[in-house]
Structure 1
């Protein structure tokens, strides 16, 4: 499911988690978990296109001032067998806690 950035900005204090999903070639997609909704929502622009960013700092910038208190980066690798891990079964994505947009010094 999707939610527009303008709708996210109306959710001050209701964003439980900001999720940055890292993909290859420095591409980041952003998802939010809202307090009153189940599941994560992909953040899109006002025309309904999923927003893409080239760095985690750029991805967090639109969310400054929204009172977000939990931000994580998720990274899934499609190359596990290339680094000696068994193929076939998909491992859980790497999850890293990040500074929240309001706490980021950039």
Structure 2
């Protein structure tokens, strides 16, 4: 799992990471980083733990599932080894609130 004080989008804007998120944290917004691309390729949310979401993403990559994360890491020159996940924010509130915060990130 990656840690950082901020997330930088493709245009170079920086967004401060708001909480100290670890793999046991639940109800979080997270980002997926691709090491060869040197960028974040996806922002998502989960009501479960960040660890559970990490395993689900890796499983989807392994089975070549049709979702944005799996499709990115199944392209030429990519593999599961380049997949990195970083927690951005721990939330309290409803699923709807978490999904709204995901969109804001």
Q: Structure 1 length as normaliser, TM-score?
A: 0.28
Higher fraction of helix: 2
Which structure has more RCO (C-alpha within 8 Å, separation ≥ 6)?
A: 2
Q: Could you say which structure has the larger radius of gyration?
A: 1
